[in-house]
Structure 1
Amino acid sequence: MRLELEPYQGTAVESVLSNLAKARAGYLEDGERTAVGLTAPTGAGKTVIATAVLEGIYKGTPTRAPNPNVTVLWITDDRALNAQTINKIHQASGQIDINDIRFLGDTDQRTLEPGLIYFVHIQAMQKNSTLHAARPDGTNNDRRTHGAWEMIANTVRERGEDFLVIWDEAHRGSGTKGTERKSIAGTIVGGGVTNIGTIQPPAPVVLGISATPDRFQAAMQAADRTMRLVEVKAGDVRESGLLKDRILLRSVGESQSADNTMLALAVEDLRTADKAWRAHHEATGDRLVEPLLVVQVEPKVTEARLVELLSVIESAWPELSDYAVAHAFGDPHGPLKVGYRNVRYLPPEAISGDDRARVVLFKSALTTGWDCPRAEVMISFQNKDSYTEIAQLIGRLVRTPLAKRVDGDDRLNEVSAYLPGFRTEHVARVVNALTDDETVEVEVLVAPVLCKQSLTVPTALFDLLDTLPSYTRQKATFSSRTAQLMRLAAALTEYDLVSQGSAKAKQWIVDQMRAADGQRSGEIDAKVADIMSLTVSTTMVAFGETVMQSVGKSDTATSERDLESYFRRAQRLLPDGSASWYFNDLCDSGEDEIDASARLTAMAELGFKDVIEAQAEALITSWREQYRSEVARRPRHVREQIEPLWHVGGVPMLPTTVELREVSAVATEKVRGNATMPIDTYPAHLYVIPDGMPNARQFPVDTSGSSWEREVLAAELAAQTLVGWYRNPSSGRHALAVYYLFGGKYQLMHPDFLFWHDDGDGDYVMDIVDPHRFDLADTSAKWSALSQYAQDHKDRVRRCLAVAKVDGKLRALDLTTPGIGQRLAEATNQVLIEAIFAAEGMKYP
C-alpha cells in the first residue's frame, strides 16, 4: 500500500481477509454461500480498507498465500462513484496494476478473466442496456456476443470459488419486502430471474461495504446466507485523525436577510484557511492543501443572482482568478455564461483532484458518490426545509485532507458551514440530523466563538498546561519489528540524524542473520539437506487383498519449482524483506541461488523470525537511546513522527504532553429538542470570549447534561486561592489523557476539570476533579488509572478528586491516597465502588 494504514484499518483488513478465506472454504466444502459485511462510519476509509484486502488476496500477506486467480466484480449504483473508486484504488495501492481494472461494459467474452477487477454500475445493466447480448424483445444485439448477465453467470458456475462480488454502498437496493422489486445488484448477489428473463446463479461470496449495513444484513440473512460482520467503530476513526475535530455551524441570529454578508464571511474564512495551510506546508513540508468553498445556490437560481454571487466572491477575494470558480450543475454539463464571465464545469468526481478550483457552485448533486476532503467551507442558500440534505452534505466534508490530524492550528481540523437562511430553530434541525446520523462522528458547534488565551490569569499556567504529562495512542502500525526498524531508519535519515539509515538497518539485519547462521550452521545444514531431497515411500497392495506391504523408500531431488515455492513461503515467514536481503548477501558471497534459497527456507522453518525480530528491536532501542535527547529538542511535528517509531513497549500508549493552543473554538448555543438556547458561561478559565463580544472574559460550558458539573464548578470557582482552570476536552492533543486497561483493551480517559491554585509561596499547584457516574462498567478501571497518574506526578498534582453522588449527595474520593487505586481496581461493580465512597470518601464540597 502506498498509504499507511491506521491501526483500526489494518485490523479490519485482516478480519475481512480471514472471513473471506472461511467463506471460500465453506463454499468449496459444502456450497455454503456467505456475505461478509464491512461496516464503517463516514471517513473511515472503506475504499482504502477494501484496496488493502484486494492486495492481500492477489499478492498475499506475511501469513497468507496469494491467489492471483480471483476475479472481482465491484458493483455500485453510480457511474461517478465507479470512476472515483478506481482513482482511490490507484492512489492507495502500490501493487494493483491499473491495467488489471476493467469496466464490465468493455468486456465481451464467455467468462470474466482470472486476476482482473471489473467495475459496473447498475444503471449500465438496465433492461435496455447495450451490455446485454439479447434485447427485451428477443432480438440479438449485433454489437455483443456475450452479455453481462451471461458472463457473470458463467464465471459463477465455472469458477465460483474464485469469484468475489464487492457491493459498494450495499444498503442501497437490498430490501427484503416481498413487494419490493428486486434490484439489479440484488440479483447479481442473490440470483434469480434477471431483468431480461434469464436465470442467474447466486454469487458464492459477497463483500458488502456500507456505513449503514442494517438493510444489507437483513437481506443477506433473508437469503439464507452465512453472515460475517466486520465493524469499524466510529470512535476509532475519530481518534485516528482521519476526521476533522469539529463542525462549526454559523447562522444569522436576527431576522433580516444577510445572504451576501454571510457569503463574504465564508470567502474570508476560505482565505484564512488558505493562509493557514500555506504556513503549515512551509513549516512541515506536508503536501500543500488548496482549501475549497462549496456554494449551494437556490434551486431555481437566476442568472442575475449568479452574477451577484460571483461579484461578492470577487470583492471578498480579488486575487481569485476566473478559472478558480467552477460549477457542478447537473445541467448544463459545460461552461456556463454568467454576465461577462464564463464559469467552467466540473463534474462532482473531478472536484477533489482539481486544485485550481477554489469555489464550486452547485445545486443538489454533490452528496451521492462525492468526496472532497479539501472542501473546508460551505454555504447553503437552500431553504430551511432542506436541512436533511444540508446535513448530508456537511457529512461529506468531515474528512481531513492529509488523512491525519494537523498540529499547531485548530482551524485546519475544522469545517465551517454557513447557513444564512436558517434561524436558530432551523439550525437545531440540521444539528439533530447530523447527530442522528450514526455514520458521522464529529463534534458539532452551534454559534461558535473563538476563545483566546486569557490575559487575566497568570501566564505561567499556560506553560504548566503545555508541559503537563499526558498520553496518546500509538497510531503507527507495523507488520513486524523489522518493518518498524525500516520506518524509523527512513525518518531518522529524513531529519538528518542518521546518514543512509535504511542501508544501515538492512546491513544490521543481514549481519545478525549471518551471525545466527554461523552459530546454528549444523542445524541449518541438516534442514537444508532435508529440503533438497524428497523421500518417496512405496507401499504394495495386492489386488483383492487387504494386506499392505511396504517395499521400500527412495530419495529424489526436490524440483526447482517446489524449491521456488518454498522460498516464496520463507519470504512471507521472515519479517519484511529480510529473506531477500540475506539471499542477496549469500549470492554475493558466491553461493548458488538454489542453495541460498534452500538455506533461507531452512532458516524460516527453524524459527529464525524471532531472532531477526529481536535484533531489529535491539537496533531500535539503541537508536532511541542515542538520539532521544536530540529529538526532544526538535519541533513537535518532528517529535511526533519519530517517537512512535521507536516505541517498543507492550502498552500501545505513548507518553507525551498536553499541547497548548492559541485559540479554542467553543459553542455558545446548544440544541434542546427543536430549538437552541444559550450556554452558561464562567469566569477565570484559561481561554475566554474576546472583549467586545457578549459574555466577554467568560468561557462557555454546557453543564445541562450534568448537575454534578455545575456543583463542582460552583464549589471550585469559589475558592479564594483559585488562579485559573481548564475544561479538559474529551479527546485530542489539547486534552490531558490517561490510559487504562478495560476488557483486555487499552483506552484513554479524560478527567473533566483542571484547577490551579496559588499555594502561598509563589508556586501554582493543580487539582484534578472528575465528577463521574460509578454505575458504568469501566469506572473502576478509569479511576484506578487516574489515581496512578496522580501518584506518579506528585510534583504536578496536589489533589485528585473523583466525585460522585451517593445517597443523593455528592461525595469526593481523594485519589492521591496510597492504595486507593488498587482498592478501586478491585471494586468491579457499583455496590463495591459505593462502599469505598461511603468508607473513605468525604463530603463535597
Structure 2
Amino acid sequence: MKFTLKDYQRDAVRDSLANLRKARRLWHSEADKTAFSLTAVTGAGKTVMAAATFEALFHGDDEFEFDADPGAVVIWFSDDPSLNEQTRFRIIEASDRINYTDLVVVENTFNRQRFEAGKIYFLNTQKLGKNSLLVRGHDIEELQTKADTTFPEMRPDLRAYTIWDTIQNTIEDPDLTLYLVLDEAHRGMGAQTTAGQNAKSTIVQRLINGYGSVPGIPAVWGISATVERFNKAIESAGNQIKLPNVVVDAIKVQESGLIKDIILLDIPDDTGDFDTVLVRRATDKLKECTLAWAEYAKQQEEAHVVVPLMVLQVPNTPDPDELGRALDTIFQRYPELSAASVAHVFGDHTTQRFGNRDVPYIEPQRVQESTWVRVLIAKDAISTGWDCPRAEVMVSFRAASDKTHITQLLGRMVRSPLARRIPGNDRLNAVDCLLPKFNRKTVEQVVDVLMSGDDSAPPPGRILIDYAEVQPNPAASVAVWSAFEALPSQTRPQRGAKPAKRLTALAHELASDDILTGAGKLAHAEMHIALDEFQTENEAKIKAKRESVLVVDGKTVKADLQGKGRSLEEFWEDADVAVIDDAYRRASRVFSPDISRTYVDHLASKVAEREKDPEEFLDAIVEARVSVAGLGLMMEVQAYFDGKAETLAKAWLAKYAAQIKALSDDRKESYRQIVEMSTDPQDVDLVKPEARYEATKARENDKVTVLPTWTNHLLCDQYGKYPAEFKSGWESTVVETEAKRHCFAFWYRNPPQPGQSSLGIAYQEGGQYKIVRPDFLFFAEQDSKVVVDLVDPHGLHLADALPKLQGLAVYTENHANAYRRIESVAEIKGKLRVLDLKRQDVRDAISSAQEVVGLFSGGLADDYQ
C-alpha cells in the first residue's frame, strides 16, 4: 500500500480477510455461499480498506498472515458509474500492487467466457438493466415470451456471451472464486418506492441469490455507512452462511483525524428571506478559509495548498434567477474569484443559465481535482456516495422540509482535506453550513439527526449553532504554554501492532528527514546482532529446530488383506525447496520479510563472498534460509525479537524527539502514527491550541440559555472570556475552588473530543483499551516555576467509572512527576470527596477495588475543599 493504514483500518482489513479466507474454503469444500458486511462511517476510508484487502487477496500479505487466492475474481458493484470511476481512481491511488490493467470497467462491448483471475471488474445497475447490450438475449422472461416466434431476438453483434453467462461460467469454474463487493450496500436491498429502485433491488438480489440457471455469487461483501438493510436481506434470504460482520468504531475514526471535528451551523436570527445575508456570510467564510489554508501551507512549507470550495445546494427545481442573484452576491463580496470558477453537477449534464451567467457541467468525481471550481451548484447528486474533501462551506437553498438531503450532503463534506487533523486549529478542522431557509427549531432537528447518524452522515465530533472562536489567552506566559505542551498524553494501543514494522517505519522516516543517515541499515544491523546473540545463547535448541526443517517425517500405513491386519511404518525424507521456502516464509512473519531477507544475507556473508564465489554464496543463502526457518520455530524468539525492536524504536524516538518536534505538521503526523503502532499505550506531547470554537448557548427542549463565561482560561475571546457549560453544579464548584488556591494562574478545560490539544489517558474495559479525557488542568506559579494540577470530577453513576479511575491511577504511577497534584473528585451524599492519586496506598486500593463508591466514601478519601 502507498498509504499507511490507520489502526482501525488494519483491524477491518484483518477481519475482512479472515472472512474471505473462510468464504473461499466453504465454497470449494462444501459449495456453501457466504455473506458479510463492513460498516464504516463516511470518511473512514472504506476504499482504502478495500484496496488493502484486494492486495492481500491477490498477492498475499505477511502482516495479515494471509496467503493469496490465485483464483480470486472481484466484481465491484454500485448503482452509479461515476461512483465506480471514483472508486477505481482511489484504488489506483492507494495500491502499489494492483495494476491499472487489473481494474476493468465492464463496458457494453465486454465479451468474455469467464472473468480473469486477479482482476476487479466494475459493474453498475444500468449495465445489468433489461435494455443493456450486456444482457440482451439472456433475459429468461423475454426468452420465454419469444420462444414460439419464428425469429427469436439474437444477441447483439452475435455476442458469444452475455454478462450473465460470464458470471455463471466464472462461478462454475473450480479454479476460480468469485467475490461480489456491493458498494453502498444499503441500496437495492428492499424498502423501494419507485420502479427504478425496484429494478436495482431485483438486480442486486439476482446477483446474490441467483437468476435462472445462473447461481448466486459464492462470496458477498457489503460495504456501507449503514448496512442494516443489507444484513436483514441476507438473513431473510437464508441461502448464505452469515459470517461475522466487520464494524469500524466511529470513535476511532474521529480520533484518526480523517474527518472534520466540527460542523458549524448558521441560521437567521428571525424569520424572513435572508438568502442574500447568509450568502454574503458564506462568501466571507470561503475567503477566510482560503486565506487560512494558504497561510498554513506557507507556514508549513507545504507543496500542496488546499483550495476551498463552496457548495450551493439547491432544490430539485431551482429558480435560475434566484441562483443568479446568489452568484452575483458571491462575486461582489469576493471579486478576486474568477468568473469561470463556477460549475454544476445537475443530472442533465448541459451548461445552465443562471441569471446572466452560463455555468458548465462537471462530473462529480472530477470536482476534487479541478481546483478551478470554487463554487459548486448541486441538487442531491452530491450526496450519493462520492465526496469532496476541499468542500469547506455549504449554503443550502433547500426548504426546511428537506432535512434528509442536508444531513446527507454534510456527510459527504466531513472528510479532512489533508487526511489528517490540523493540530490545535479548529478553523481548519471545521465545515460551515448556512441554512437561510431554516428556523432554529428545524436546525435543531438536523442536529439531532446528525448526532444519531443516518445512511450517509456519521455523527461528527461537535455540531455548534451558536458559537464563538477562542484563541490563546494573551496573558498566559510562554512558561505556562511550555508546561502545557510538556504534559504526557497517551495513545490508544493497536491490536496486532508489530515492533519490527514500527522500527523499520521509524528508520525510513528518520532517513527521509535527514535526521539519521542510513537509519534503515542501522536498524537492520542492530536486529542482526540481536538474532546472532539469540542463536549463540540457544545453539542446541536451534540446531534441533533446524534439522526439523530439513527433514520431513511421516507414517506409511501397511494393510495385510489376508490377515486383515495393518501396521504403521515411519519414514523420513529430505525436505525439498518448496518445504524449506514455506518454513522460511512462516519465520519471516515473525521477523518481518525485510529483516529476514537482510539477515539471510548477513548469515551468508559470514560463509562466502557474493562477488568472489557466487555459487558458494548461493549455497550459503539456502543454508541461511534454513537457519532463519529454524529460528522462527523457537517459541521464545518472538517475544525476544519484539522486545529488542521495541527498545531500539523507543531509544530513537527519545533521542531525536527535538528534531522531530521541529518538523512540519505533516511530517510530525507521520511520526505520531509510528508512535501509535504499539500494543501498549504510548506517550505523546500535547499541542498548543491556536483556535477553537466553543458553544455560547445551550438548548434543552425548546429553551435556549446563554452560557456563563469565565476568566483566566488558557483560551479566551477578545474580551478575555471563555464560555463553558457544566453538566453538574459541582464541576463549576471545582473550578471556583481551584481558582482560589494560592498562586493559581490559569485553568484549562480539557476537550472531551480527540485531538492533539486534548489530554488523553488510556484505560482498559472488557479487555479493550479506551481513552478517558480528564476534565480540568490548573496552572500555578510556585517557586518561580509553573506547576500543573490535574483534577478530574468523576461521575460515579457511569458503568466505566472504576476502569477510568484505574486507568488514571496507572497513568499517575508512570507520570507522577509531571504534576504537582493528580486528584479525582466525586460527589457522595451531597458532599464532594477527593482521592489523592499520588499516594501509593490510594493507587493500590484503586487497583484492587471491585466498586468505586466505597473508595470515595471510605477513609482513603478526604473532603474536597
Question: In which range does the TM-score fall when normalised by the shorter chain?
Answer: 0.7 to 0.9
SS of 2:564's partner is coil
Distance 1:788 1:563, change over 3 A: closer
AA aligned opposite 1:775? H
SS of 1:607's partner is helix
The aligned residue for residue 844 of structure 2 is 822
Aligned: 1:746 with 2:769:
yes
SS of 1:137's partner is helix
Instruction: Judge conservation of contact 1:446–1:670 (CA < 8 Å) in 2.
Output: no
For 2:17 and 2:779, locate their aligned partners in 1 and report how far apart those are by CA, in whole Å: 51
Deviates more, 1:535-544 or 1:369-378: 535-544
AA aligned opposite 1:450? E
The aligned residue for residue 682 of structure 1 is 710
Aligned: 1:184 with 2:202:
yes
Distance 1:746 1:535, change over 3 A: closer
Instruction: Judge conservation of contact 1:785–1:821 (CA < 8 Å) in 2.
Output: no
Q: What does residue range 762-777 of structure 1 map to in structure 2 within 5 Å? A: 766-777=788-799
Distance 1:819 1:297, change over 3 A: same
The aligned residue for residue 149 of structure 2 is none
Structure 2 length as normaliser, TM-score? 0.86
AA aligned opposite 2:631? G
The aligned residue for residue 323 of structure 2 is 306
Per the TM alignment, residue 96 of structure 1 is displaced from its structure 2 partner at its CA by: 0.9
SS of 1:400's partner is coil
SS of 1:345's partner is coil
The aligned residue for residue 694 of structure 1 is none
SS of 1:323's partner is coil
% identity of equivalent residues: 30
Per the TM alignment, residue 368 of structure 1 is displaced from its structure 2 partner at its CA by: 0.2
2:131 to 128, 131, 135: 128
SS of 2:468's partner is strand
For 2:625 and 2:80, locate their aligned partners in 1 and report how far apart those are by CA, in whole Å: 48
Aligned: 1:410 with 2:410:
no
Distance 1:751 1:622, change over 3 A: closer
SS of 2:321's partner is helix
Instruction: Judge conservation of contact 1:160–1:204 (CA < 8 Å) in 2.
Output: no
1:379 to 381, 395, 408: 395
For 1:337 and 1:221, locate their aligned partners in 2 and report how far apart those are by CA, in whole Å: 49
- The C-alpha deviation readout for 1:64-85, integer Å capped at 9, x for no partner, is 2211211112211222211111
The aligned residue for residue 649 of structure 2 is 620
Per the TM alignment, residue 443 of structure 1 is displaced from its structure 2 partner at its CA by: 1.1
Instruction: Judge conservation of contact 1:76–1:121 (CA < 8 Å) in 2.
Output: yes
Instruction: Judge conservation of contact 1:278–1:289 (CA < 8 Å) in 2.
Output: yes
- The C-alpha deviation readout for 1:56-115, integer Å capped at 9, x for no partner, is 111111122211211112211222211111111111111111211223445322322222
For 1:765 and 1:568, locate their aligned partners in 2 and report how far apart those are by CA, in whole Å: 53
The aligned residue for residue 502 of structure 2 is 484
SS of 2:683's partner is strand
Aligned: 1:269 with 2:285:
yes
Task: In structure 2, list runs of 5 or more residues that go unmatched.
Answer: 144-152, 605-609
Q: What does residue range 654-673 of structure 1 map to in structure 2 within 5 Å? A: 654-656=683-685, 658-673=686-701
For 2:821 and 2:600, locate their aligned partners in 1 and report how far apart those are by CA, in whole Å: 60
Q: What does residue range 492-507 of structure 1 map to in structure 2 within 5 Å? A: 492-506=510-524
Instruction: Judge conservation of contact 2:300–2:664 (CA < 8 Å) in 1.
Output: no
The aligned residue for residue 376 of structure 2 is 360
Per the TM alignment, residue 706 of structure 1 is displaced from its structure 2 partner at its CA by: 3.2
Instruction: Judge conservation of contact 2:553–2:570 (CA < 8 Å) in 1.
Output: no
For 2:559 and 2:87, locate their aligned partners in 1 and report how far apart those are by CA, in whole Å: 60
AA aligned opposite 1:232? V
For 2:39 and 2:299, locate their aligned partners in 1 and report how far apart those are by CA, in whole Å: 37
Deviates more, 1:50-59 or 1:787-796: 787-796
Distance 1:414 1:840, change over 3 A: same
Q: CA RMSD in A?
A: 3.7
Aligned: 1:113 with 2:120:
no
Per the TM alignment, residue 453 of structure 1 is displaced from its structure 2 partner at its CA by: 3.3
AA aligned opposite 2:469? L
Distance 1:178 1:45, change over 3 A: closer
Per the TM alignment, residue 398 of structure 1 is displaced from its structure 2 partner at its CA by: 1.0
For 2:514 and 2:400, locate their aligned partners in 1 and report how far apart those are by CA, in whole Å: 56
- The C-alpha deviation readout for 1:148-201, integer Å capped at 9, x for no partner, is 223223322334972211122222222399999682354245424x4xxx3442
1:343 to 353, 359, 375: 359
The aligned residue for residue 181 of structure 2 is 166
- The C-alpha deviation readout for 1:323-344, integer Å capped at 9, x for no partner, is 332221223x133345664433
1:279 to 295, 312, 325: 295
For 2:480 and 2:533, locate their aligned partners in 1 and report how far apart those are by CA, in whole Å: 53
Per the TM alignment, residue 531 of structure 1 is displaced from its structure 2 partner at its CA by: 5.9
For 1:185 and 1:616, locate their aligned partners in 2 and report how far apart those are by CA, in whole Å: 52
SS of 2:38's partner is strand
The aligned residue for residue 17 of structure 2 is 17
- The C-alpha deviation readout for 1:361-381, integer Å capped at 9, x for no partner, is 122221002211111111112
The aligned residue for residue 607 of structure 2 is none
For 1:748 and 1:309, locate their aligned partners in 2 and report how far apart those are by CA, in whole Å: 45
AA aligned opposite 2:598? W
The aligned residue for residue 463 of structure 1 is 481
Q: What does residue range 268-667 of structure 1 map to in structure 2 within 5 Å? A: 268-286=284-302, 287-331=304-348, 333-338=349-354, 341-437=357-453, 439-455=458-474, 457-459=475-477, 462-463=480-481, 466-473=484-491, 480-506=498-524, 541=559, 546-548=564-566, 558=576, 574-582=591-599, 586=604, 587=610, 590-591=614-615, 595=619, 598-608=622-632, 610=638, 616-617=645-646, 619-620=648-649, 623-624=652-653, 626-628=655-657, 630-631=659-660, 641-642=670-671, 645=674, 651-656=680-685, 658-667=686-695
For 1:535 and 1:494, locate their aligned partners in 2 and report how far apart those are by CA, in whole Å: 48
- The C-alpha deviation readout for 1:25-50, integer Å capped at 9, x for no partner, is 23344333322221112221112111
AA aligned opposite 1:112? F
Task: In structure 1, list runs of 5 or more residues that go unmatched.
Answer: 692-696
Distance 1:452 1:507, change over 3 A: closer
Per the TM alignment, residue 413 of structure 1 is displaced from its structure 2 partner at its CA by: 1.1
Aligned: 1:729 with 2:751:
yes
For 1:449 and 1:485, locate their aligned partners in 2 and report how far apart those are by CA, in whole Å: 43
AA aligned opposite 1:440? P
SS of 1:5's partner is coil
AA aligned opposite 1:739? A
The aligned residue for residue 92 of structure 2 is 90
Deviates more, 1:305-314 or 1:359-368: 305-314
Distance 1:732 1:178, change over 3 A: closer
SS of 1:819's partner is helix
Per the TM alignment, residue 584 of structure 1 is displaced from its structure 2 partner at its CA by: 5.7
Distance 1:553 1:300, change over 3 A: closer
Structure 1 length as normaliser, TM-score? 0.88
Deviates more, 1:571-580 or 1:65-74: 571-580
For 1:834 and 1:469, locate their aligned partners in 2 and report how far apart those are by CA, in whole Å: 30
Instruction: Judge conservation of contact 1:249–1:416 (CA < 8 Å) in 2.
Output: yes
Instruction: Judge conservation of contact 2:511–2:517 (CA < 8 Å) in 1.
Output: yes
Aligned: 1:149 with 2:167:
no
SS of 1:219's partner is helix
SS of 2:826's partner is strand
Per the TM alignment, residue 436 of structure 1 is displaced from its structure 2 partner at its CA by: 2.2
- The C-alpha deviation readout for 1:484-523, integer Å capped at 9, x for no partner, is 2322222212322222333444555567667878998998
Per the TM alignment, residue 710 of structure 1 is displaced from its structure 2 partner at its CA by: 4.4
Instruction: Judge conservation of contact 1:575–1:613 (CA < 8 Å) in 2.
Output: no
For 1:254 and 1:545, locate their aligned partners in 2 and report how far apart those are by CA, in whole Å: 102
- The C-alpha deviation readout for 1:420-470, integer Å capped at 9, x for no partner, is 232322221221121121633321111221123345x55367426533513
SS of 1:322's partner is coil
Instruction: Judge conservation of contact 2:809–2:846 (CA < 8 Å) in 1.
Output: no
Instruction: Judge conservation of contact 1:263–1:312 (CA < 8 Å) in 2.
Output: yes
For 1:328 and 1:277, locate their aligned partners in 2 and report how far apart those are by CA, in whole Å: 25
Distance 1:735 1:554, change over 3 A: closer
Instruction: Judge conservation of contact 2:342–2:376 (CA < 8 Å) in 1.
Output: yes
AA aligned opposite 1:318? P
